[in-house]
């Protein structure tokens, strides 16, 4: 287990708002202080199967003019040693994942701290994965083959797309037809990628990409599903997808506070076809029971899944676009406790 813990030492730049914090590793009943990169605070974010830990740490106690806080670097920790993973010219960075080969991804600020780029750190080498021509991007996850996913902006910084990076090349993972923007959150060993799409700064549809093709996951679940699937966050090697959706009556912008977790499990098409004939009569009877009585004023039907045009994006008519900027502590706003200069581009 990893995390951070407060000390009793006051700290004006505290990551938690009052006292110095230390990254820790809890193992075999013992809580171990992992130290810092020279500054007062550190925060452990991820650990892999080998016990390698990554996180971020102040490297000193001197605030920068651009952020108002001391410089923050990404670290890796192994066998009692904390290692500084460097920077891309700015004064802030954070990790988003470490795989079992010890490769690390995340984002780092560029010179001037007005933009951020995705990075990959591999065996001592730090690589800027770049963008699609815009100022900002982030690497959110990677598999054990070193295939990286994330998001990046195009010129003008109005439209962002998900990407997959492998063998030195970054490929655009465009959203499904009708959506403007996409973000990738997870990838498995088969290079199946999951994420979300919708308007920019507004998630609508949980998405899976396979062989470059985007699929809105709402189109492959039953029409009577109780959820609008919004974020697909993780996919394992069995193709099972975990994420967050909203039930009927809940606005998509409330997905983080009122959303429900979901798990999608792939269905064997051949087995499903074999069962169709056996279940047809039962389904028919069930549907007849669910049909509303025309004379019953209280009868209602399930919400339609008809797509309607809202502005420049296609959205199911029963949802509203989520505005990620307005959601506190969402997946892309994990550092909102820190001064705004550090996360304003995130």
Quick one: 314 and 250 in the same domain? yes
pLDDT digit string, tens, across residues 236-294: 999 999 999 999 999 999 999 999 999 999 987 555 455 444 444 444 443 433 333 33
Quick one: 318 and 201 in the same domain? yes
Give the residue from 94, 128, 162 where a domain finishes. Answer: 128
Instruction: Answer yes or no: is 99 within a domain.
Output: yes
Distances (CA, A) of 320 to 37, 253, 308: 44, 7, 11
Distances (CA, A) of 332 to 183, 295, 345: 10, 49, 10
Tokens (6 digits) for 150: 């994330």
Quick one: 50 and 145 in the same domain? no
Residue whose C-alpha is closest to residue 42's, from 14, 80, 78, 79: 14
Give the residue from 113, 128, 143 where a domain finishes. Answer: 128
Quick one: 9 and 104 in the same domain? yes
Quick one: 258 and 146 in the same domain? yes
Gap between the Cα atoms of 208 and 212, Å rounded: 10
Q: What's the domain range around 66?
A: 1-128
Quick one: 175 and 110 in the same domain? no
pLDDT surpasses 70 at 325 = no
Q: In this predicted model, which residue has the larger pLDDT, 311 or 260?
A: 260
pLDDT digit string, tens, across residues 47-63: 999 999 999 999 999 99
Give the mean pLDDT of the chain: 82
Q: HEC string of the chain?
A: CEEEEEEEEECCCCCCCCEEEEEEEEECCEEEECCCCCCCCEEEEEECCCCCEEEEEEEEEEECCCCCCEEEEEEEEECCEEEECCCCCCCCEEEEEECCCCCEEEEEECCCCCCEEEEEEECCEEEECCCCCCCCEEEEEECCCCCEEEEEECCCCCCEEEEEEECCEEEEECCCCCCCEEEEEEECCCCCEEEEEEECCEEEEEEEEECCEEEEHHHCCCCCCCCEEEEEEEECCCCCEEEEEECCCCCHHHHHHHCEEEEECCCCHHHHHHHHHHHHHHHHHHHHHHCCCCCCCCCCCCCCCCEEEECCEEEECCCCCCCHHHCCCCCCCCCCCCCHHHHCCC
Quick one: 137 and 106 in the same domain? no
CA dihedral of residues 123, 90, 76, 102 (deg, nearest 10): -40
Quick one: 202 and 331 in the same domain? yes
Quick one: 206 and 334 in the same domain? yes
pLDDT surpasses 90 at 316 = no
Q: What pLDDT is stored for residue 215 in this prediction?
A: 97
Instruction: Answer yes or no: is 294 within a domain.
Output: no
Q: What pLDDT is stored for residue 195 in this prediction?
A: 98
Q: What pLDDT is stored for residue 271 in this prediction?
A: 55
Quick one: 113 and 164 in the same domain? no
* The total number of structural domains that make up the chain: 2
Q: What pLDDT is stored for residue 292 in this prediction?
A: 35
Quick one: 156 and 225 in the same domain? yes
Instruction: Answer yes or no: is 218 within a domain.
Output: yes
User: Whole-model pTM above 0.75?
Assistant: yes
Instruction: Answer yes or no: is 299 within a domain.
Output: no
Quick one: 43 and 182 in the same domain? no
Instruction: Answer yes or no: is 315 within a domain.
Output: yes
- What's the burial of 32, exposed, middle or buried (CB within 10 Å: 0-12/13-18/19+)? middle
Instruction: Answer yes or no: is 100 within a domain.
Output: yes
């Amino acid at each position: 287990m990893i995390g951070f813990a407060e000390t009793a030492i006051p700290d004006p730049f505290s990551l938690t708002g009052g006292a110095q914090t230390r990254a820790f590793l809890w193992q075999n009943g013992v809580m171990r202080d992992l130290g810092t990169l020279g500054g007062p605070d550190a925060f452990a974010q991820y650990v892999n199967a080998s016990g390698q830990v990554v996180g971020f740490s102040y490297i000193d106690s001197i605030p920068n003019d651009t952020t108002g806080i001391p410089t923050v670097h990404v670290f890796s920790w192994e066998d009692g040693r904390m290692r500084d993973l460097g920077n891309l010219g700015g004064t802030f960075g954070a990790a988003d994942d470490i795989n079992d080969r010890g490769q690390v991804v995340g984002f780092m600020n560029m010179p001037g701290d007005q933009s951020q780029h995705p990075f990959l750190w591999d065996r001592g080498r730090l690589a800027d994965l770049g963008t699609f021509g815009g100022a900002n991007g982030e690497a959110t996850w990677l598999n054990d083959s070193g295939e990286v996913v994330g998001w990046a902006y195009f010129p003008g910084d109005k439209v962002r797309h998900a990407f997959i990076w492998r063998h030195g090349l970054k490929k655009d993972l465009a959203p499904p037809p009708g959506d403007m923007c996409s973000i990738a959150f997870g990838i498995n060993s088969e290079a199946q990628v999951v994420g979300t799409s919708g308007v920019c700064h507004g998630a609508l549809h949980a998405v899976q990409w396979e062989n470059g093709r985007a699929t809105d996951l709402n189109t492959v679940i039953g029409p009577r599903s109780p959820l609008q699937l919004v974020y697909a966050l993780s996919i394992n090697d069995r193709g099972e997808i975990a994420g967050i959706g909203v039930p009927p009556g809940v606005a998509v912008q409330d997905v983080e506070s009122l959303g429900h977790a979901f798990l999608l499990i792939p269905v064997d098409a051949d087995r499903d076809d074999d069962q169709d004939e056996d279940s047809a009569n039962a389904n028919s009877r069930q549907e007849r029971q669910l049909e509303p009585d025309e004379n019953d004023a209280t009868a209602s039907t399930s919400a339609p899944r008809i797509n309607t045009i809202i502005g420049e994006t296609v959205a199911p008519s029963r949802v509203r676009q989520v505005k990620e900027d307005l959601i506190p502590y969402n997946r892309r706003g994990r550092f909102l406790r820190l001064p705004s200069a550090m996360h304003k581009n995130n």
